[in-house]
Structures are given as structure tokens and as C-alpha cells.
């Protein structure tokens, strides 16, 4: 597995195993999204909420898949570590959810996001 080192953080850049991804739960993901994500990205996932210098991202397909190259591991990194597809810090309003959400919960959220269409 390829590991990318960032200050104080080790991030796995490999894909999440297919068996683990298949256990994702869209319903649980929807509940987690509503609780943790919809305040900034809206219930629809459309984003567009302004925070001073930043605007929340549109999390609907197909843009989300295009940005993160259809790789669940990159989306998990964005959710848990607030890092983009290049490993750079996402805009500061985006929290790093590591310690609040597990990798499994991040995958559940991703499963839910994959049901949203722009």
C-alpha cells in the first residue's frame, strides 16, 4: 500500500477494499450526512454555502466522482482528514472528522453521496 506522509498525518492512498466498500449502508450514510454534513453542503448536497473566503462544495454526482477520480479512499481522506485529491488541506471551514467519524461511517456517507445527482 502506498502511504503519503503529511505533517503529523499518515494517509493511505490505496483504494478501500471492495469487500469493505460493499458493506456500506446508504441509510446510515444519509443519517450521518444529515447530522454532520448538511449544515454546510445542504440537504440536497448542492453546497454553495459561503464562508468568508470559501464556498462549500457540491457533493452530487457526477462532479464528486470526477474530482476524486472515482476512488473511495480519496473521499475518505477528504472526510476524515480534510485533504483534497492532491493531499492539500481543504478550505478551513471543512473539519477533519477523524475521531468523530470512523472509516466505516465515512464509507456510509460516500455510499449515500453516490445516490445524489446534480
Residue 22 banded pLDDT, cuts 50, 70, 90: low
Residue 11 bridge partners (DSSP): 4
Give per-residue pLDDT as tens, 98-116: 999 999 999 999 999 999 9
Q: What is d(CA 48, CA 50) in angstroms, rounded to the nearest whole number?
A: 6
Alpha helices in the chain (DSSP H): 18-22, 26-36, 38-41, 63-67, 72-81, 103-113
Give per-residue pLDDT as tens, 41-63: 999 999 999 998 999 999 998 88
Q: What is the mean pLDDT of residues 84-110?
A: 95
Q: What is d(CA 50, CA 57) in angstroms, rounded to the nearest whole number?
A: 10
Which domains, and CATH codes, for the chain?
24-113 (1.10.760.10)
- What nine digits make up the cell of 69? 477520480
Q: What is the mean pLDDT of residues 11-31?
A: 66
Amino acid at each position: 500500500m502506498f502511504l503519503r506522509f503529511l505533517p503529523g498525518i499518515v494517509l493511505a492512498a490505496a483504494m478501500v477494499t471492495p469487500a469493505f466498500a460493499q458493506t456500506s449502508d446508504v441509510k446510515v450514510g444519509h443519517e450521518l450526512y444529515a447530522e454532520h454534513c448538511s449544515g454546510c453542503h445542504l440537504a440536497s448536497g448542492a453546497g454553495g454555502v459561503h464562508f468568508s473566503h470559501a464556498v462549500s462544495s457540491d457533493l452530487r454526482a457526477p462532479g464528486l466522482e470526477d474530482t476524486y477520480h472515482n476512488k473511495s479512499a480519496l473521499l475518505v481522506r477528504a472526510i476524515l482528514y480534510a485533504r483534497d485529491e492532491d493531499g492539500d488541506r481543504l478550505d478551513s471551514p471543512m473539519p477533519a472528522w477523524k475521531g468523530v467519524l470512523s472509516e466505516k461511517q465515512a464509507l456510509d456517507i460516500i455510499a449515500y453521496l453516490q445516490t445524489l445527482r446534480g
